[in-house]
Every structure is written in C-alpha cells, then in structure tokens.
Amino acid sequence: MAKAFEQPIYVTRPLLPNIEAVTERMKKVWDSKQLTNFGAQHNELSDRLKDYLDVDHISMFSNGTMALLLGLRALELTGEVITTPFTFPATVQALDWNNLTPVFCDIDPVTFNIDADKIEALITEKTSAILGVHVFGNPCDVEKIQKIADKHNLKVIYDGAHVFGAKVNGIPISHFGDMTMFSFHATKLFNTVEGGALTYHDAALDKRLQLLRNFGIVNTEEVALSGLNAKMNEIQASVGLEVLKVLEEERNKRHTIKRAYEENLAAIEGIRVLTTLEDESSSYQYFVIDIDQEKFGQSRDVVYEELQKHNVFARKYFSPLCSDFEWYSGLASAQPVNLPIAHKAVQQVLAMPYYGELPIESVVQICAILQELHVTQESLFQL
C-alpha cells in the first residue's frame, strides 16, 4: 500500500530566491527611501524582463488581473469578446470590469484551449476581440486565431498567466496577438510575490498604460483620464530581480520532475499528460493530467479525494467553468449544450504537485497512489 505523506504536499510552492540577496536589495530600497511609484528596482526589472521575454514594450502591474483589466481598457474594446470558459475567474472578470460581454467558445479536446475552429461562428457585429488563454502553458492556435482576427478586424489578447518565457516554434509567445498578459503571482514560476505585466507591439500603448495604472496622472498639474492604482512596487520588483537569478535552475529541476512523473505514469491506462512541452517551448508552470474515468476505472473526483487522504493536495483547475458563474446564466454562449468539451474536460482535469523542491521520491510515491487507484478491466472482471 502506498503510504500517506507525513507533511502536506501542495500543488505548488513559491520559488524563493536567496534571502541574503533579497535583504541586500532591500537595503538599497531602504537607503533610497523610494518604495513605489516607478523607482530603480521597478525600472531595472522592466528592462530585464524586456530582454528575457524578447519584447519591445512591457508595462508592469500590481498583479496579473489588474494588468489584464487595464490592458483591455487600453485597447478600447467594446461589446463582445470571444473567450474560453476553461480558465481562472480573473480572465472573464477582467472583461466584466470593462463592461465587455464574454462570448464563450468551446475548447479543443487535446489542449483544453479555446477551439480556434469554433471562433468564427460566434462573431457578430458587436465582437471587438478574441481573448485566448494559453492554458497550463500550452499555446493557443496562434496562427489560426490571427487569421480570423485579421479577416474580421478584431484585436487579439492573450492571457499568458501560465506561459512565462515560453516559445512557439522558437518565437517568443508574446510576439503573437496585440497584447499578452503575464502573472507574477507567488504560485507562478517567475514571481514578484504578487505582480503581472503586459507586453505589446504598439508603442502608443506605453503612455496609455502608464496613465491607466497611475490614476491617469500626467504630471502634478494634469490628470488625463480615469485610471486606477495598479503599480508594481519596489519590494515586488526587488524579489523579482532575485527570482530571475534562480529561474533557470528551477526550470531544470521541474524538467526532471516532469520526466519522473511521465515515466511513472506511462503504464497507467486512462491517464493522459496535458503538459507535454519541454525546453524552450515549455513554461514548466504546471504538470496536469486528464483522467479518463472509463479507462482508469475511477473518476477524477475519487482520485482527488484519495490523494487528499494521502496528504496530497492536487487541484481541480479550472473548476467551476467560468460559463457556470451565476451572473452569466442568461448568456446563450454560457449554456452547457454549447460547451460540451469544456464540460467534459472540467470533470477530468487534475493539476498535480509541481515545484522544484518536490523530491523525486515524492513523485514516485504520488504515482504509486495513482497506480493503486487504477482499476483495470481484468480486476473488474474478477470481481
């Protein structure tokens, strides 16, 4: 029998930089007495990220949600935005807070991303944009989405909360679409405790986003528009600068952990790994499996509960579907009959513990629990 863990194993643990290095940086911040409002740490991190992500334009924010919310605002979208129901609530809440109506599009059965083949049928005269999410680090069908957007004169925004640093066929992911949002939350591979950024190609957005994240203030005499407070502060930026130094090491560790999971899961029927990308194509953000109840012999929910009994806290990201939020119940596109793949996926998906400090023996033990839960057709026959 696979043993329960003595200490809880969580879906993730933050990547913590060297505390002495962070303290050194804090001393600089203390000496400067500039704690926020675009100080030296903020500007240094902004430059470093521009290089790391290989982009021309970046604006950093207090968190990913504010980045997306203000990014949508900066693009001056109106009416309807076609998006996925299979995402974290923040994606659609950013639409809500811009008075934009989400139009839910079903997802691809393999990647669980918005199904590009189903977008065009949802376009109306009110549609202003497509908001895709690179779910769990798997890129959307960026080429197909761009073709549709060009044909119908729509903007394309990507929620890239899960794809920090990833490339698509060697091209940095934020080169696709008009704008990409990244989250730097503590649970993300690259973190600034809380934080986020937008990358984009249009230089004019620099100024507009600067105003939007800082109360619309132009200078001490002038306020140009109704903005918000969504600035990344110096403490956040300091942590980020030190996290950048340990990022490569963490990616390597996660690569090894991913391989260990894959080896130990390979023989278990009914489990499909969703996050198969590696090296420069991968953000190494999540390790996610899809459990086919018929083949595995148990439902995802049983697996989730049994893991908890063993002190393993995997997560059912992203349940519930955003289309099931009560305030969308009147939307035609939110009706389950229009989203069959998303409704199936959300019953099957499980994000497994995944972070550099997770020992390989723990991965082996978690997979042994799954192996024990697996009910083969033969054993059913014997019953």
Annotated catalytic sites, by residue?
Answer: 188
214 DSSP 8-state letter: B
Using rule CB under 6 A, residue 270 touches ligand T4K = no
Is position 13 an interface residue for ligand T4K (rule: CB under 6 A)? Answer: yes
- Looking at residue 5, the DSSP 8-state letter turns out to be P
Count of residues interacting with ligand T4K (CB under 6 A): 24
Determine which residue in the list 17, 64, 227, 297 makes contact with ligand T4K, applying CB under 6 A: 64
With binding defined as CB under 6 A, does residue 304 bind ligand T4K?
no
Shortest separation between residue 71's beta carbon and ligand T4K, angstroms: 12
Instruction: Tell me the two tokens of residue 119.
Output: 């977008």
What is the C-alpha end-to-end distance of the chain, expressed in Å? 20
- 353 is an interface residue for ligand T4K by CB under 6 A: no
Residue number of the CB closest to ligand T4K reads 64
Q: Which is nearer to ligand T4K, 270 or 322 (CB)?
A: 322
CB of 268 to ligand T4K, least distance (A): 24
Is 187 a binder of ligand T4K (CB under 6 A)?
A: yes
Kindly state whether residue 87 participates in binding ligand T4K, applying the rule CB under 6 A. yes
**Which residue of 317, 348, 363, 365 would you call a contact of ligand T4K, by CB under 6 A?**
317
Nearer to ligand T4K by C-beta: 129 or 374? 129
Give 39 or 71: the residue with its C-beta nearer to ligand T4K.
71
Complex with ligand T4K: residue 61 or 296, whichever CB lies closer: 61
From the list 70, 75, 57, the residue with the least C-alpha distance to 172 is 57
Look at residue 97 and give its three-state secondary structure: coil
86, 88, 164, 287: residue in contact with ligand T4K (rule CB under 6 A): 88
- Determine, following the binding rule CB under 6 A, whether residue 240 of this chain makes contact with ligand T4K: no
Among 41, 59, 63, 333, binds ligand T4K (CB under 6 A): 63
Residue given tokens 């994240």 in the structure block: 213
DSSP string for 307-357: HHHTTEE-B-TT-S-GGGSGGGTT-GGGSGGG-HHHHHHHHHEEEEP--TT
> φ and ψ at 8, to 5 degrees?
-60, 140
The conformation of residue 175, written as its DSSP 8-state character, comes to G
Q: Is residue 365 part of the contact set for ligand T4K (CB under 6 A)?
A: no
Is 133 one of the binding residues for ligand T4K (CB under 6 A)? Answer: yes
Strands (E), the chain: 9-10, 57-61, 80-83, 101-104, 127-133, 155-159, 167-168, 171-172, 179-183, 196-200, 217-219, 222-223, 271-273, 287-291, 312-313, 349-352
CA distance linking residue 321 with residue 342, whole number of Å: 8
The Cβ of residue 221 has, within 10 Å, a number of other Cβ atoms equal to 6
Our CB check for ligand T4K shows the closer of 108 and 159 to be 159
Which class for 234: exposed (0-12), middle (13-18), buried (19 or more C-beta within 10 A)?
Answer: buried
* The binder of ligand T4K chosen from 29, 42, 60, 65 (CB under 6 A): 65
Q: How far is the CB of 12 from ligand T4K (least distance, A)?
A: 5
Nearest CA to 288 out of 298, 267, 308, 303 is that of 303
State the nearest-atom distance from the C-beta of 32 to ligand T4K, in Å. Answer: 26
CB 63 within 8 A of CB 198: no
Q: Could you say whether residue 346 binds ligand T4K (CB under 6 A)?
A: no
Q: Does 91 bind ligand T4K (CB under 6 A)?
A: yes
Kindly state whether residue 97 participates in binding ligand T4K, applying the rule CB under 6 A.
no
Which residue, among 330, 315, 313, has the nearest Cα to 7 in the 3D structure? Answer: 313
Backbone Cα Rg of the chain: 22
Residue 196 φ then ψ, to 5°: -170, 175
Q: Is the Cβ of residue 295 or residue 316 nearer to ligand T4K in the bound state?
A: 316
The verdict on 186 binding ligand T4K (CB under 6 A) reads: yes
> Torsions phi, psi of 172, nearest 5?
-55, 135
The distance of closest approach from Cβ of residue 383 to ligand T4K in the complex, given in angstroms and rounded to an integer, is: 36
Residue 198 interacts with ligand T4K (CB under 6 A): yes or no: no
Q: Is 275 in the site for ligand T4K (CB under 6 A)?
A: no
254 binds ligand T4K, rule: CB under 6 A:
no
Query: Which residues contribute to the site for ligand T4K (CB under 6 A)?
Result: 10-14, 63-65, 87-88, 90-91, 133, 159, 161-162, 183, 185-187, 196, 313, 315, 317
